[in-house]
Structure 1
Amino acid sequence: MKATGSMQLAFALASCAPMTAHCADLGCHLSFTTTAWSALYSSAQGEGIVFCDDGSAMRVDIVEGGLGLAAGRWAITDGRGAFSGVQGIDEVVGEYVAVSANVGLIKAATVHVLAKGGISLALAGQGAGFDIGLCIGRFEVRKSAQGRR
């Protein structure tokens, strides 16, 4: 599957998340990079920027960990994400339940669909390395010490 197809699938799945009827979705997106490894346990760290349609932006740190049948070492250098169910940029911060499927040799690709209460985050990205597996864990978005952009 091409990465663009993966991104479309992930964004489509995220748009299925329930939203509250009284508030419109703010339209927030994430641009990120991560480095990761896995050998039954999966770990990733990275950074990114969340930007919303109202012009607000925030630098974030990303920490991911989980268990599963996985092995590899890779870096995602062109990661993109779309949030749904967000009314304010600060709502994107927190821990998301993550289910990820990864496969790649030389060129790595990833697709994640994450949830935190009524907020969902669909991620897709391209990079380099090798990985194969399926993991269940957490994906945490933290406000960076550098704060708002």
Structure 2
Amino acid sequence: MNLIKWAGVVGLACGSLLLGTPARAGDISCKMSFQLSGWSVFYKTASGSGTVRCSNGQSLHVKLRAKGGGLTFGKTKITDGVGKFTGISNVRDVLGHYANAEAHAGAEKSAAAQVLTKGNVSLALSGKGEGWNLGVAFGAFIIE
């Protein structure tokens, strides 16, 4: 009798392995391609647009805004930006306000990279563009 029960338990355990494990939050990877332009004279502002594409086939067109302040001066335009998200379970998890702190200096052709956070979601931004900037700024990067 115990042998029959044991065989049943082993059979159920093996069967559950064949079904696979359910997806957990953060199991998909998402990338954003974007363009962004803006200026700063103590107050910093920028706007742009992008498209987020995820490994599960979801995609989303987004509006981008950056605003903040600090000791900052400049004008920049990013034409070839890339963002990589972590902590995503659905493409809509990318939407919201991300905390932003940066130190920057650049002239003419430039490149930049920074990491932003929103709760459990992180966003690593990198981009190439043109313009000039100098300073330290704090604020928000907003994806709508």
Q: Residue in 2 aligned with 1:53? A: 55
CA contact (8 A) 1:28 1:52 kept: yes
Q: Residue in 1 aligned with 2:107? A: 105
Instruction: Name the aligned partner's letter for residue 118 of structure 1.
Output: N
Q: Residue in 1 aligned with 2:131? A: 129
Report the CA distance between 1:69 and its aligned residue. Answer: 1.5
Report the CA distance between 1:77 and its aligned residue. Answer: 0.4
Count of aligned positions = 121
List structure 1 runs of 4+ shifted beyond 4 angstroms.
none
Structure 2: any 5+ residue segments left out of the alignment? Answer: 1-23
Report the CA distance between 1:30 and its aligned residue. Answer: 0.8
CA contact (8 A) 1:103 1:110 kept: no
Report the CA distance between 1:108 and its aligned residue. Answer: 2.6
Q: Name the SS for the 2:139 alignment partner.
A: strand
Q: Residue in 2 aligned with 1:81? A: 83
Q: Name the SS for the 1:85 alignment partner.
A: strand
Cα 1:91–1:83 change in 2 (3 A) is same
Instruction: Name the aligned partner's letter for residue 124 of structure 1.
Output: S
Report the CA distance between 1:61 and its aligned residue. Answer: 0.4
Partner Cα distance (1:60, 1:24) in 2 = 20
Partner Cα distance (1:49, 1:65) in 2 = 20
CA contact (8 A) 2:26 2:86 kept: no
CA contact (8 A) 2:113 2:124 kept: yes
Structure 1: any 5+ residue segments left out of the alignment? Answer: 1-21, 143-149
TM normalised by structure 2 equals: 0.80
Report the CA distance between 1:102 and its aligned residue. Answer: 2.2
Higher share of residues assigned helix: 2
Q: Residue in 1 aligned with 2:29? A: 27
Q: Identity across aligned pairs (percent)? A: 38
Instruction: Name the aligned partner's letter for residue 141 of structure 1.
Output: I
Cα 1:24–1:119 change in 2 (3 A) is closer
Q: Residue in 1 aligned with 2:118? A: 116
1:119-148 Cα distance to aligned partner (Å, 9 max, x none): 010101110111112211000000xxxxxx
Partner Cα distance (1:101, 1:51) in 2 = 29
Q: Name the SS for the 2:28 alignment partner.
A: coil
RMSD: 1.1
Which one has the largest radius of gyration? 2
